[in-house]
Amino acid sequence: MNTPLLSVENLKVRFPVKRGLPWKAAQYVHAVDDVSFDIQRGETLGLVGESGSGKTTTALAVAKLINSWEGVVKLNGTDFFSLDKESLRLERANIQFIFQDPYSSLNPRLTAERIVSEPLRQLKNLSKKELAESVDDIFDAVGLRPEQKKLFPHQFSGGQRQRIGIARAIISKPQLVICDEPVSALDVAVQAQILNLLRDLQKRFNLTYLFISHDLGVVQHMCDRIAVMYMGKIVEFSNRMELFNSPQHPYTQALLSAVPSVDRKRRERVQRIVLSGDPPDPLNPVPGCHFAARCPSVDESIGCLKKFPPLDTVSESHQVACYRFKR
């Protein structure tokens, strides 16, 4: 197998919680708990799960926008976490973010031209002519007109603002683009336009995406492989076809059963799974499977409440963390 572009090994992220009493032991929110995955060049890997599952925190830690507790992240074989301050600044040209909210992720005091060109100003030493040419080219690539360069963010629609955000992310020709819910704040009609644009740009510039979403319909359209997260853990990892046709983890099955469909036969075939119970306290992780309290198939006799199950192989491209599968 080819060397992956991005390799994440045993990533953990914890956030301290202040209790107000200095003699009390420090407590931590276990936001990401021992997550590992690879992304091959040119592919799109999806991170899915409900709010609070750790998707965005994982992405922020991968880009070292927040500090990790443990783990190794390698980009092009280089240990990203071991870089010194200047090397990290230069390497950031290879990892860029497309943020969720096009309204708050753009500086309202800067023109579109200045916003888009900012990564090049910070990361590369270009002449004014080279900078202007790069901005013109990327405006054309994302479907913005040249005369819009001098406008400010409030003069654009939501979809146009997200195009500015995309242009800013790819102008430095990054190898990895992290898309954090890039269409969730947009109207449905505009979502389709932005998703198609992202796919076109991926082919044109040979981009690799880490795509974060809670919308499984969007994930099915965009992603080659998918990692399902629950309470900071990856509970299922598969290619797109196997995950949607044969989900193995009870949590994944519940997620897919909630996806609306216009296909009457699918609606008749897929029974809606309604979960009960509460997720575990992230301050005090349970020793067993994090999903056990809500799982309709929990079985204490096979270890569900004792230890979190490892990712077990279903097929060459499909893994699941569930003791029930092993039976």
pLDDT digits (tens, 9 = 90+) for 14-38: 998 876 666 677 788 899 999 999 9
Where does residue 171 rank: exposed (0-12), middle (13-18), buried (19+ CB within 10 A)? buried
CA distance 249 to 294: 12
Q: What is the reported pLDDT for 326?
A: 60
Q: What is the reported pLDDT for 100?
A: 87
Average pLDDT value for the chain = 89
Calculate the alpha carbon distances from 217 to 58, 77, 221, 314 in Å: 21, 33, 6, 23
Q: What is the mean pLDDT of residues 151-171?
A: 95
pLDDT for 257 beyond 70: yes
CA distance 233 to 246: 20
CA distance 139 to 134: 9
Share of the chain above pLDDT 70, in %: 94
pTM: 0.91
> Which phi and psi (to 5°) does residue 104 adopt?
-105, -10
Q: What is the reported pLDDT for 268?
A: 60
Cβ atoms within 10 Å of 122's Cβ, excluding its own: 12
Q: What is the mean pLDDT of residues 61-78?
A: 92
Confidence of residue 327 (pLDDT cuts 50, 70, 90): very low
pLDDT digits (tens, 9 = 90+) for 202-240: 999 999 999 999 888 899 999 999 999 999 999 999 999
Contact, 15 vs 29, CB < 8 A? Answer: yes
Calculate the alpha carbon distances from 29 to 12, 32, 72, 275 in Å: 11, 9, 20, 24
Indicate the helix (H) or strand (E) that contains 225: strand 225-230
Confidence of residue 93 (pLDDT cuts 50, 70, 90): confident
Contact, 203 vs 23, CB < 8 A? Answer: no
- Pick 178 or 89 by higher pLDDT: 178
Residue ranges of domains in the chain? 245-327
